[in-house]
Structure 1
Amino acid sequence: MTIPFTDLFYDNPVSHDTNNKTSELNLNDCNNTDISVLAYKSLPATIQKALLSQNRLVIIANNPSITIETLEQTLQPTDIVVLFNDFIHADFFATHALAKTLPKLLFFRQIGDSRLHFGLPPRSNNLIAIEQMAQHAALGIFLSNISYQFPTPTDDPKPNDDPISEDRVLSIAHDLKVIFDSSEHCRVLSEQHPVVADYPSFADIHSSAPTSGFLMYRLLLAARQPVQCLQRTNNPQKRTAPVEILLLGFNDDDKTAHFWEGHNWAFERQELAAPPIGVEIIRQY
């Protein structure tokens, strides 16, 4: 029987030195589970800070049916935007009057066991837009499983999967490299993080693990509890509500053009069919 995520507890949380004094308040004095504190401390420090002032996390799937008009109607000044890999509408998030001012959390998934991550050189990427993002708002980066290795095209085990074009950025500029090397901005997130310890992976499929979107959803869902505690600690007179989560473009199976058999889609869809209070799903077809 599957153990509900809300019933999971862990006795030995792993802590990180975030160099963020605001987040080092007495979380132990709050009614937090070990897993919620671990989830919060797993986040880049820039996003930990942003969560204390923003009201909503908008997790955006790489769904081509999401239009700029939809984004303009959806995004609010108190949002944090979460994007994945070689994300859609990069110019919009980098230059739009509102979107460029919103804190952003970018997730880049490791490609199998290689030195590569989707959305980073030498694969297709939005590096120019990411450089612009970093100039306008707080930026946090997650890399799945391993830190970025700054690989070259010769490190790509399957270059024909993503042929290099003339406009491909093949190396990371110095200013952006500083961000990737900074623990304040950039962290490694294991695909086997405790927030998905109950995930039924497939033993016969190598690298079977949660989808990037589900992993990030679980992590941020757990991190909301310490955020609320810290907000109350910082401003005891103000009534605080949990940070809201909006999932945009997370489709049903039969409406999705591609889904890898190593993800347990049935498990994920079943959980998202009945989201908890404070979580909204807007599907795009």
Structure 2
Amino acid sequence: MQNSVPLNSVLNERLIINGGERDVNEVSKEMAAFINVPLNIQDALKRSNRIVFVANNPSISTDQLEKLLQPDDVLVLFNHFIHPDFFANHPLASALPKLLFFRQIGDSKLHFGLPPRSNNVSVMKRMAKSAPIGILLSNQSYQFPSPHEDPSPSDDPISSERILIIPPAVQALLQSAQHHSVLSDRHPVVADYPCFRDVHSSAPSSGFLLYRLLLAAREHLQNVQKAVLPLKLLMLGFNDNDKTAHFWHGHNWEFERREMSSPPPEVEVIRQY
């Protein structure tokens, strides 16, 4: 069994929020979560009724999404997200605000879902023309890495069709506090997360990190708006048992699935395999 240690024992004392640093003691965990979200998605959350997380689960179909999505949703998509053309072109889906999260690969200059790795950069340009878009990068801003800086290029061989250079329209998004922010995988919302001592870069999975972030952000928003109920959260395709592969061994899947098996009020988890 791997030895684990809560992240709060190694938590940085400062947060990088919308391009500036804030001491974690200056704000509550809930406020720290909300202000770590790009500004235009903060605005979208104030007007929305539900946050829909879409896992990169191949069993999720566009027909299913078409039936589930509502006009007052905010979408959360991850890394090299599924069904990019649907989210960019469908009449309803294209009009919904979208928070895109891209995870740093280990401690390299690369992020999953951005060049030189497989990406939907061309679709992101279309998305930004149709609805508010926010981009969260884990741990560091985009470093404009070249293919030779990929620590494991055989994991995702480059094809002739892949976009390797961020186009100007997406560069502008990445340089705007309105659209872009950096999220540490040691954010206070996961201070209790048991990472593994013997696994380099052990940290929460992308889905769990964003779940905790927006769970706290909605609590802050509920307090500010004095709402009776918090924003609804819908987790589509997130599973809580061993029917799906564990993927990377640096995520504490047992801890995550145990928590996700008993979600709090106003959180719905649709599990599918």
Q: Is the pair's TM-score, using the shorter chain for normalization, greater than 0.5? A: yes
1:142-176 C-alpha deviation (Å, 9 max, x unpaired): 10111100111122122111111121011111111
1:97-116 pair list within 5 angstroms: 97-116=91-110
The residue aligned with 2:267 is 279
The residue aligned with 1:199 is 193
The residue aligned with 1:236 is none
The residue aligned with 2:253 is 265
Larger strand share, 1 or 2: 2
* SS of residue paired to 1:48: helix
The residue aligned with 1:5 is none
The residue aligned with 2:57 is 63
TM-score by length of 1: 0.86
Give the structure, 1 or 2, with the largest relative contact order (CA under 8 Å, sep 6 or more): 2
What letter is aligned with 2:128? A
Structure 1, 88-97 or 153-162: larger mean CA deviation: 153-162
**142, 145, 161: which one pairs with 1:167?**
161
TM-score by length of 2: 0.89
The residue aligned with 1:76 is 70
The whole-number CA distance in structure 1 between the counterparts of 2:165 and 2:15 is 33
Q: Is the 8 A contact 1:83 1:107 kept in 2?
A: yes
- The offset of 1:16, in angstroms, is 4.4
Q: Is the 8 A contact 2:18 2:181 kept in 1?
A: no
**229, 237, 240: which one pairs with 1:249?**
237
Alignment RMSD, CA only?
2.0
* SS of residue paired to 2:33: helix
Structure 1, 33-42 or 264-273: larger mean CA deviation: 33-42
The residue aligned with 2:172 is 178
1:221-268 C-alpha deviation (Å, 9 max, x unpaired): 001122123334xxxxxx653111010001233221342111111111
Say if 1:207 and 1:13 are closer, same or farther in 2 by CA, change over 3 A. Answer: closer
Percent identical pairs in the alignment equals: 58
Q: Is the 8 A contact 2:16 2:182 kept in 1?
A: no
- The offset of 1:89, in angstroms, is 0.2
Q: Is the 8 A contact 2:31 2:220 kept in 1?
A: yes
2:131 matched to 1:140?
no
Structure 1, 136-145 or 248-257: larger mean CA deviation: 248-257
The residue aligned with 2:219 is 225
The whole-number CA distance in structure 2 between the counterparts of 1:215 and 1:17 is 18
Q: Is the 8 A contact 1:13 1:38 kept in 2?
A: no
What letter is aligned with 1:52? K
Say if 1:253 and 1:17 are closer, same or farther in 2 by CA, change over 3 A. Answer: closer
Structure 1, 33-42 or 201-210: larger mean CA deviation: 33-42
Q: Is the 8 A contact 1:231 1:240 kept in 2?
A: no
Structure 1, 251-260 or 190-199: larger mean CA deviation: 251-260
The whole-number CA distance in structure 2 between the counterparts of 1:218 and 1:144 is 14
- The offset of 1:17, in angstroms, is 6.1
The whole-number CA distance in structure 2 between the counterparts of 1:269 and 1:281 is 11
The whole-number CA distance in structure 1 between the counterparts of 2:169 and 2:144 is 14
The residue aligned with 2:152 is 158
* SS of residue paired to 2:194: coil
What letter is aligned with 1:126? N
Q: Is the 8 A contact 2:100 2:136 kept in 1?
A: yes
The whole-number CA distance in structure 1 between the counterparts of 2:89 and 2:130 is 9
1:43-62 pair list within 5 angstroms: 43-62=37-56
* Total equivalences in the alignment: 257
1:174-233 C-alpha deviation (Å, 9 max, x unpaired): 11101001112111101111100000111111111111100000000001122123334x
1:106-138 C-alpha deviation (Å, 9 max, x unpaired): 000001111000000000000111111000000
